[in-house]
């Protein structure tokens, strides 16, 4: 299993800049690279990465995307006078040339390809290339938007040609539309391009009609181009996560890529003069985490934009720290997507429902939205005051430093019955440090009136001891094989430190009943995925999900996780995630590992897995997920059972009144 995070950076790429006056280009400065790299060095993150040398791309590699005449023309720029450079630049938009930019553009492509090499060969698991000039706007025969060669598009073609990658996912979280990437792959079903971007109904650069949600790809590529337009500024963390949960992740898992490339532009962060958004740098920790179980963890992030030097550096650090496997920060006080984003999500899902089975049950667009004209007029007429921040200059906008993300010394502790081997790299939590006799007596009092079952009592004490170490941040997460998961659940809720259990996300997988006193204590959000219709009452904090084929239904299970469990979990923001595998759940191992991986984005990674002690075969795979190994790829997901999908849709529509992050479409008012 590949491990390690690559970091590619070379100060040579800082050695070009704007040589004349051009207001459109002055934000693209060399300091963008130096502040990013210096922040990684200062925080100690750079030292934890595997430094990979950059190189120049060859002509052949550049020609994977660009035309010969364009390459030949760019080759002449190093020898041009200032006047010639300005004249040469005139033919393109919002970009500038410099005698050294061709050299740097070859290094940016070369760095990207070195990153792809190191990930595809397994030398590292994932990585980031800090490059300039950026790439996602450049086209076959044109420079555009500070871009000379399309780094990520060349990287995708290179991965398919050299390594036989079948399906490449490109996630472009830069605040601008990477039209260059869209043009490159719009007829290619092997490259799924996803981009969100400031659009404002075509009023924002590059002002293209084809950047809207209805550009879904062409011919064989139909369905493989996803555009999410931001028609307002001031988008927040909730907006970004809503798009991940209700658009990108369901489709990405259905696509099942061999490689994930991220066009990592950080002008979508707060303080950026281009984006004018309000999402905070720590959101990139979550966006990165949510992509890290795709493609067996093979993720290459390539820098695109980002012009506020403070939020850029913070966002780069948040991204790298997550690539390195550190716990994500708490997703603090999330709400739901704003009205404008709800429309965009609904429009995108509607445009793509014919291509992706996970979107099949998207409600039709309300009539009001169908006539886009009225939509535009409506939005412009209301012309809600541009976000307050627009009045302030980008420099005046302030936001809190991202919270420190401490890494507990022990990643995974296990409480196992005698005779069960401790999985590699895990730390056994023995009852030697048994909890205080007070707790011991309370447990005994709770569960063992008369016949004291020494073995079970010891096992429960191990469990509580593990949780006490988790509460002290000595341990990040844990696995316990117990005799009776229901008893263990109750014991955890009753006796674990309240710092963990004052808000517990309880995820139960498989048939079986969950002790009602757990769901009535008001400290728990229960999501129970099983094959049986809910007997108990559905409530805001008790969410039964029924899969007719049971938990062995990979496609249905993943859609329930991505489109329901995760949004609930992020909005609930628990202090502990209690993941319980009910006896005979039938859940398949790799789906179980995906779930255990994805849930670690919550509660600063404080996940406790409870399983029946006879499931020793699953102890290894579960431990590897808890240790941060990427879950195996699920393969092409089978067809989703319509009735399950419909039931899921109904459940979300019912719950969205209480859980705003479930919102994903305007359900026509009855
Ligand atoms: C891959 O390039 C990264 C990028 O997407 O950030 C480039 C943005 C070009 C923005 C061009 N208009 C600037 C207008 C100045 N007010
Ligand atoms: Zn950008």
In sequence order, which residues have a C-beta less than 8 Å from that of residue 180 and are 6 or more positions away?
A: 135, 136, 137, 138, 139, 144, 147, 150, 153
pTM assigned to the model: 0.96
What burial class does residue 21 get, using C-beta atoms within 10 Å of its C-beta: 0-12 exposed, 13-18 middle, 19+ buried?
exposed
- The third-level CATH classification (topology) of the domain covering 417-639 is 3.40.800
Q: Is 277 helix (H, G, I), strand (E, B) or coil?
A: strand
The answer to whether 472 and 490 are in contact (CB under 8 A) is no
In sequence order, which residues have a C-beta less than 8 Å from that of residue 418 and are 6 or more positions away?
A: 455
- The tokens of 58 are what? 């060859």
Q: Tell me, what's the pLDDT at 49? A: 98
Query: Which strand (E) or helix (H) includes residue 239?
Result: helix 237-243
Which ligand is located closest to the Cα atom of residue 25?
A: 1
Task: Using alpha carbons only, give the angle 504, 589, 481 rounded to the nearest 5 degrees.
Answer: 55
Sequence ranges of the domains in the chain = 5-374, 417-639
Cβ of 200 below 6 Å from ligand 1:
no
Same fold flag, 5-374 and 417-639: yes
Tens digit of each residue's pLDDT (9 = 90 or more) over 304-313:
999 999 999 9
The chain-wide mean pLDDT, for the chain, equals 93
- The third-level CATH classification (topology) of the domain covering 5-374 is 3.40.800
Phi first, then psi, for residue 189 (nearest 5°) are -75, -5
- The tokens of 304 are what? 């695109």
Low-confidence ranges of the chain (pLDDT < 50): 373-374, 377, 381, 383-386, 670
Q: Whose CA is nearest to atom 8 of ligand 1?
A: 145
From 21, 24, 92, the mutation candidate for ligand 1 (largest count of ligand atoms within 8 A of CB) is 24
Query: Which strand (E) or helix (H) includes residue 102?
Result: helix 101-120
Q: Whose CA is nearest to atom 10 of ligand 1?
A: 145
Q: Which atom of ligand 1 is nearest to the CA of 135?
A: 1
Q: Smallest Cα–Cα separation from 356: which of 205, 247, 274, 202?
A: 247
Q: Which atom of ligand 1 is nearest to the CA of 174?
A: 5
Cβ of 276 below 6 Å from ligand 1:
no
Which ligand is located closest to the Cα atom of residue 136?
A: 1
Cβ of 180 below 6 Å from ligand 1:
no
Q: Which atom of ligand 1 is nearest to the CA of 273?
A: 16
Q: Is 369 helix (H, G, I), strand (E, B) or coil?
A: helix
- The tokens of 381 are what? 């007429």
The active-site residue, picked from 137, 177, 197, 664, is: 137
Q: Tell me, what's the pLDDT at 435? A: 59
Q: How many angstroms separate the alpha carbon of residue 452 from the centre of ligand 1? A: 70
Q: How many angstroms separate the alpha carbon of residue 392 from the centre of ligand 1? A: 20
Q: Tell me, what's the pLDDT at 209? A: 98
From 208, 274, 277, the mutation candidate for ligand 1 (largest count of ligand atoms within 8 A of CB) is 274
Q: Tell me, what's the pLDDT at 194? A: 99
In sequence order, which residues have a C-beta less than 8 Å from that of residue 521 and are 6 or more positions away?
A: 493
Q: How many angstroms separate the alpha carbon of residue 171 from the centre of ligand 2? A: 13
Q: How many angstroms separate the alpha carbon of residue 306 from the centre of ligand 1? A: 9
Q: Whose CA is nearest to atom 7 of ligand 1?
A: 145
Query: Which strand (E) or helix (H) includes residue 413?
Result: strand 410-415
Cβ of 117 below 6 Å from ligand 1:
no
Tens digit of each residue's pLDDT (9 = 90 or more) over 199-255:
999 999 999 999 999 999 999 999 999 999 999 999 999 999 999 999 999 999 999
Q: How many angstroms separate the alpha carbon of residue 235 from the centre of ligand 1? A: 18
Is 137 part of the annotated catalytic residue set? yes
Q: What DSSP string runs through 112-126?
A: HHHHHHHHHTTSSSE
Q: How many angstroms separate the alpha carbon of residue 269 from the centre of ligand 2? A: 10
Q: Whose CA is nearest to atom 3 of ligand 1?
A: 305
Q: Which atom of ligand 1 is nearest to the CA of 267?
A: 6
The answer to whether 426 and 412 are in contact (CB under 8 A) is yes
From 22, 25, 94, the mutation candidate for ligand 1 (largest count of ligand atoms within 8 A of CB) is 94
Q: How many angstroms separate the alpha carbon of residue 275 from the centre of ligand 2? A: 8
Which ligand is located closest to the Cα atom of residue 174?
A: 2
Q: Tell me, what's the pLDDT at 450? A: 59
Cβ of 272 below 6 Å from ligand 1:
no
Q: Whose CA is nearest to atom 6 of ligand 1?
A: 305
Phi first, then psi, for residue 545 (nearest 5°) are -120, 120
Q: What DSSP string runs through 431-482?
A: GGGPPPHHHHHHHHHHH-SSS--HHHHHHHHHHHHHHHHHHTTSEEEEEEEE
């Amino acid at each position: 299993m590949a491990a390690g995070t690559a970091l590619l950076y070379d100060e040579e790429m800082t050695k070009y800049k704007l040589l004349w006056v051009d207001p459109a280009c002055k934000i693209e400065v060399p300091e963008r690279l130096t502040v990013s790299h210096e922040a990684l060095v200062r925080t100690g993150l750079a030292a934890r990465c595997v430094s990979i040398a950059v190189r120049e791309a060859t002509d052949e590699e550049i020609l994977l995307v660009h035309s010969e005449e364009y390459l030949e023309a760019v080759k002449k720029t190093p020898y041009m006078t200032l006047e010639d450079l300005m004249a040469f630049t005139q033919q393109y938009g919002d970009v500038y040339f410099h005698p050294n930019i061709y050299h740097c553009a070859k290094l940016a492509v070369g760095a990207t390809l070195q990153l792809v090499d190191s990930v595809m060969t397994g030398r590292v698991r994932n990585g980031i290339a800090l490059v300039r000039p950026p790439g996602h706007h450049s086209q076959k025969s044109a420079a555009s938007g500070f871009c000379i060669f399309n780094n990520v598009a060349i990287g995708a073609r290179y991965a398919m040609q050299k390594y036989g990658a079948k399906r490449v996912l490109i996630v472009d979280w830069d605040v601008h539309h990477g039209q260059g990437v869209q043009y490159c792959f719009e007829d290619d079903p092997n490259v799924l391009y996803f981009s969100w971007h400031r659009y404002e109904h075509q009023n924002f650069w590059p002002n293209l009609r084809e950047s809207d949600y209805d550009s879904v790809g062409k011919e064989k590529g139909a369905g493989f181009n996803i555009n999410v337009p931001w028609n307002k500024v001031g988008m927040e963390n909730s907006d970004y996560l809503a798009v991940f949960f209700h658009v990108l992740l369901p489709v990405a898992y259905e696509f099942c890529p061999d490689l994930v490339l991220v066009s990592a532009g950080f002008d979508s962060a707060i303080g950026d003069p281009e984006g004018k958004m309000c999402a905070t740098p720590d959101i990139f920790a979550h966006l990165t985490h949510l992509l890290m179980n795709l493609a067996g963890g093979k993720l290459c992030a390539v820098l695109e934009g980002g012009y506020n030097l403070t939020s850029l550096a913070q966002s780069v650090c948040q991204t790298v720290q997550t690539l390195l496997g550190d716990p994500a920060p708490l997703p603090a006080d999330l709400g739901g997507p704003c009205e404008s984003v709800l429309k965009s999500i609904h429009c995108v899902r509607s445009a793509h429902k014919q291509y992706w089975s996970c979107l099949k049950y998207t409600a039709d667009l309300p009539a009001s939205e169908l006539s886009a004209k009225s939509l535009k007029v409506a939005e412009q007429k209301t012309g809600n005051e541009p976000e307050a921040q627009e009045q302030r200059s980008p420099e005046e906008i302030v936001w809190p430093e991202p919270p420190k993300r401490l890494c507990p010394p022990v990643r995974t502790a296990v409480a196992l019955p005698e005779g069960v081997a401790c999985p590699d790299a895990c730390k056994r939590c023995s009852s030697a440090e048994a909890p205080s006799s007070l707790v011991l007596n309370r447990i005994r009092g709770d569960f063992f009136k008369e016949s004291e079952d020494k073995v079970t009592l010891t096992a429960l004490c191990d469990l509580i001891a593990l949780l006490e170490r988790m509460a002290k941040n000595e341990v990040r997460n844990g696995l316990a094989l117990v005799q009776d998961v229901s008893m263990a659940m109750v014991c955890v809720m009753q006796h674990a430190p309240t710092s963990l259990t004052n808000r517990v996300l309880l995820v139960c997988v498989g048939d079986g009943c969950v002790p009602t006193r757990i769901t009535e204590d008001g400290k728990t959000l229960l999501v129970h995925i099983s094959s049986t219709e809910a007997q108990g009452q559905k409530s805001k904090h008790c969410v039964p999900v029924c899969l007719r084929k049971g938990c062995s239904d990979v496609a249905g299970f993943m859609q329930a996780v991505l489109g329901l469990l995760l949004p609930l979990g992020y909005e609930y923001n628990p202090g502990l995630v209690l993941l319980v595998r009910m006896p005979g759940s039938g859940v398949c191992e790799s789906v179980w590992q995906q779930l255990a991986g994805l849930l670690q984005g919550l509660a600063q990674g404080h996940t406790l897995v409870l399983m029946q002690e006879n499931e020793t075969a699953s102890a290894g795979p579960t431990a590897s997920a808890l240790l941060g190994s990427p879950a195996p790829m699920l393969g092409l997901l089978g067809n989703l059972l319509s009735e399950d999908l419909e039931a899921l849709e109904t459940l979300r529509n019912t719950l969205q009144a209480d859980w705003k992050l479930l919102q994903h479409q305007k359900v026509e008012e009855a």
